Structure 1
């Protein structure tokens, strides 16, 4: 086995791309992972890390370039993450994202995976400025300048983002103006050590209506119109430090809403704890013409509260949801379970095509929005509950309901093991799995493929220029379940 030293420079030919978008080459059978290198390239790389079976290296020089290498549109994209692939021509990005699925399936080997139909990735006509929401951290530099951006991968270095080319332009403009106003009015900014103040800004713009909502996350209390928020409890005295660290927002809000008239909601979130969580427990509307923004997908509209989840790419959300509906092949007699329903977006697209939709989500605000949206849209056959699917679904069966179809759209962690067990027990006739993580999808298919036939997997490029893709999986119940070859863990 060849021995490589940290700092050693090597010549390497890149053979393929890995699941995180890095180039992969081999030396004497040892895998070498090199971010920003492309298949077919001959490079010089410097070893940065050695593990038992592989090494990592940084790109030093390209001796032979790939014909698919392009100049990135964003000069700072490489500062954020080694999994960004803006240096790869867009058509080849789409091919790579189909290969991501294949790599994940080959790693976890669900039953019959070699025979799965993997369809070509559906991309965007214009893969720039697609993110309708930003969530930037705020920092004040020693110079006094205020910046907003994201942390560099695996570090605590904040990369200033003033012109992110994948971000919707108005959201970026608002974030930039927020920084200028913080400077102008000398508002305190959280420095994670001594100073309490503004720590995060969230801006989201509706593609349908152009309405904008914003959240300011602060570790200090806020004053507005002479009122303190959050107000101290009756028996609580503010510390001297708290009294000095108020974020006075009167002039800030006035100037911000005067310049950006599309802003309909501004909320504050109080988050004094030193944790990696973005939001604290308390949120307060500070300015509102509306408490929600109206967004649209396919042929209907819905309302979004500031903290409610919705896809970051509304253009491709239309594509993704259309593919999910097509895969489910809804019938008027279908009773559909919409697990991880959020504000009800996919379920509403099904409502006029099925007998009923029953959704659940663990976020109470999302369920409030889902119910309000269903009422506003006139869908009397949509029902929503707060809670975990693996707890609610058995209760529904106990009341005599027999859902014929299941739709799941889980977070990147995939399906909870208890939910997998629930699905294996009840086995609705058909199922659609909308995935945002090919690895957890492939792992979940180890169980699901024992009870369902995987008809096809359709990838959709929700995040151009990154090594991430979404996928829609069409599953139909097997006439006879396969013998479960591998047990899965059930959380106690």
Structure 2
């Protein structure tokens, strides 16, 4: 996912799921709930003069984002947290052309319904499927991918996760004040600026949540105020924590509104005493009115400023702004399948487009003749070169630039590539990049995607221009959420 996402990371555009990875230069609402779940944080965003009625409905299916499908007065409505086969009472709100439905109570529950493990599930909205059991989640995701990919053939069975919690190796927490002026920390409700006070997110690494809880407790004694986006007052905006799942190394990034940090040495000392497992602490200054978590200024307060982790047998240095897949257990399955689909024999030239810090390209280099990584973000390219050297990789080179333009120039020089591995952002690729693939004519295109809907669009382009799909593998990278990663193998047709 270059993504994130609760979702994954690469992902959804909400504050909850931001990614900092750069890509080609061209390139959910608060959860409904029954009446026992309390007030809707987004209620003030609804149209005025709305009318509400209660209706009894039956759920006939699910949308691609996990909402229940029902019929009401000839209209198809979508209802969060409703499962196929269930009957329920819903509240239907109308105002002009606006029609929305909210679950009031389930009358006949599905056998697949479970009590969400997370006590914040109905408030947060970062996870969308915790009301389903594991089997139902797997079936929903498989069916969604099967329907999307039907024009290209039948996908393989989705690769699931044995322990579908605690998997996120990156998390960020926001701080604020409640109505009693007490400091709270947590996550924004989906598609809102409603801060949900919480002490644990069940898909975060548990140690990360322990650390930000400690920081919240330290804020009062160090007279640190949370930043207020509306007034521009306050100091601490976010805490970003990255955990090396294999190495155990931990990075803490204090995202602040100004570089003036009174008492920072004592703060760092106290935090390290409480959590000696922390290996580096950074201060990132973000003084802009922006939804992006990280600013441009960065200062190391303790340690080397990066952490190291191991993926598919290789070691990678991870900085605060590095994109690194947030679920390493499932990433190894995803990348292993991508390399398998590339069918490398040790002689091939492989282009790793959107290469980031070089993860998949360096993994491919173990079986390829030569790897060329291309990435717009110069910091990511620098990290990729460093990671190449630390792993003793001699057959990989990394370049800063637009991958599409790079491939067009290769084609113009008469150079060839056997395999192109592409892993674009959620928006997918664009025609400029895809046309450059067609010009270069690699024998295989391995398309890794965090958004199967845009992947289908791009695959349609490639199949219209000489390629055919040979295999599709979905991977459940983000359990408890609707997001799925897929990798597709596309092969250049042989001309008659």
TM range (shorter): 0.7 to 0.9
| Distance in 2, Cα, partners of 1:9 & 1:131 | 39
Matched, 1:374 2:388: yes
The worse-fitting range, judged by mean Cα deviation, of 464-473 and 153-162 is 153-162
Q: CA deviation at 1:364?
A: 1.9
Q: CA deviation at 1:83?
A: 5.9
Task: Indicate if the aligned counterparts of 1:409 and 1:435 stay in contact, CA closer than 8 A.
Answer: yes
| Distance in 2, Cα, partners of 1:393 & 1:425 | 8
- Structure 1 residues 303, 51: CA separation in 2 closer, same or farther (over 3 Å shift)? farther
Provide, for residues 6-33 of structure 1, a one-character-per-residue CA deviation record: whole Å limited to 9, x for no partner. Answer: 4111111111111111111123542110
Alignment of 1:4-83 (within 5 A): 6-27=51-72, 29-48=74-93, 55-81=99-125
| Matched residue, 1:271 | 286
| Distance in 1, Cα, partners of 2:96 & 2:332 | 42
| Distance in 2, Cα, partners of 1:414 & 1:386 | 20
Secondary structure at the aligned position of 1:346 is classed as helix
Provide, for residues 183-220 of structure 1, a one-character-per-residue CA deviation record: whole Å limited to 9, x for no partner. Answer: 22111321120513110110010011100012111112
Task: Indicate if the aligned counterparts of 2:121 and 2:127 stay in contact, CA closer than 8 A.
Answer: no
Provide, for residues 39-88 of structure 1, a one-character-per-residue CA deviation record: whole Å limited to 9, x for no partner. Answer: 11011111135786x94311001111000001111010221227611000
Alignment of 1:29-428 (within 5 A): 29-48=74-93, 55-81=99-125, 84-105=128-149, 113-192=150-229, 193-223=231-261, 247-288=262-303, 290-428=304-442
| Distance in 2, Cα, partners of 1:283 & 1:163 | 27
Secondary structure at the aligned position of 1:199 is classed as strand
Provide, for residues 462-488 of structure 1, a one-character-per-residue CA deviation record: whole Å limited to 9, x for no partner. Answer: 11010111011111112249xxxxxxx
Q: Unaligned 5+ residue runs, structure 2?
A: 1-49
- Structure 1 residues 32, 297: CA separation in 2 closer, same or farther (over 3 Å shift)? same
| Distance in 1, Cα, partners of 2:69 & 2:94 | 14
Q: CA deviation at 1:401?
A: 3.0
| Distance in 2, Cα, partners of 1:28 & 1:331 | 60
Task: Indicate if the aligned counterparts of 1:187 and 1:248 stay in contact, CA closer than 8 A.
Answer: no
Secondary structure at the aligned position of 1:8 is classed as strand
| Distance in 2, Cα, partners of 1:477 & 1:426 | 11
Q: How many residues align?
A: 445
| Matched residue, 2:13 | none
User: TM-score scaled to structure 2, two decimals?
Assistant: 0.86
Q: CA deviation at 1:424?
A: 2.3
| Matched residue, 2:450 | 436
Task: Indicate if the aligned counterparts of 1:33 and 1:57 stay in contact, CA closer than 8 A.
Answer: yes
| Distance in 1, Cα, partners of 2:312 & 2:51 | 53
Task: Indicate if the aligned counterparts of 1:457 and 1:471 stay in contact, CA closer than 8 A.
Answer: yes
Task: Indicate if the aligned counterparts of 1:121 and 1:461 stay in contact, CA closer than 8 A.
Answer: yes
- Structure 1 residues 115, 385: CA separation in 2 closer, same or farther (over 3 Å shift)? closer
Task: Indicate if the aligned counterparts of 1:133 and 1:202 stay in contact, CA closer than 8 A.
Answer: yes
Q: CA deviation at 1:396?
A: 3.2
The worse-fitting range, judged by mean Cα deviation, of 415-424 and 7-16 is 415-424
Secondary structure at the aligned position of 1:373 is classed as helix
- Structure 1 residues 313, 50: CA separation in 2 closer, same or farther (over 3 Å shift)? farther
Secondary structure at the aligned position of 1:441 is classed as helix
| Distance in 2, Cα, partners of 1:56 & 1:7 | 9
Task: Indicate if the aligned counterparts of 2:152 and 2:469 stay in contact, CA closer than 8 A.
Answer: no
Q: CA deviation at 1:104?
A: 3.6
Task: Indicate if the aligned counterparts of 1:100 and 1:438 stay in contact, CA closer than 8 A.
Answer: no
Task: Indicate if the aligned counterparts of 1:437 and 1:470 stay in contact, CA closer than 8 A.
Answer: yes
Secondary structure at the aligned position of 2:174 is classed as strand
| Distance in 1, Cα, partners of 2:219 & 2:77 | 45
| Distance in 1, Cα, partners of 2:381 & 2:277 | 26
| Matched residue, 1:236 | none
Secondary structure at the aligned position of 1:209 is classed as coil
Secondary structure at the aligned position of 1:180 is classed as helix
Secondary structure at the aligned position of 1:176 is classed as helix
User: TM-score scaled to structure 1, two decimals?
Assistant: 0.86
Q: For CA contacts below 8 A with separation 6 or more, give which structure has more relative contact order.
A: 2
Structure with max Cα Rg: 1
Task: Indicate if the aligned counterparts of 2:172 and 2:238 stay in contact, CA closer than 8 A.
Answer: yes
| Distance in 1, Cα, partners of 2:85 & 2:168 | 31
Task: Indicate if the aligned counterparts of 2:282 and 2:305 stay in contact, CA closer than 8 A.
Answer: no
Secondary structure at the aligned position of 2:171 is classed as strand
- Structure 1 residues 141, 349: CA separation in 2 closer, same or farther (over 3 Å shift)? same
| Matched residue, 2:25 | none
- Structure 1 residues 51, 436: CA separation in 2 closer, same or farther (over 3 Å shift)? farther
Q: Kindly report the root-mean-square deviation, in angstroms, between the aligned alpha carbons of the 2 structures.
A: 1.9
| Distance in 2, Cα, partners of 1:127 & 1:51 | 42
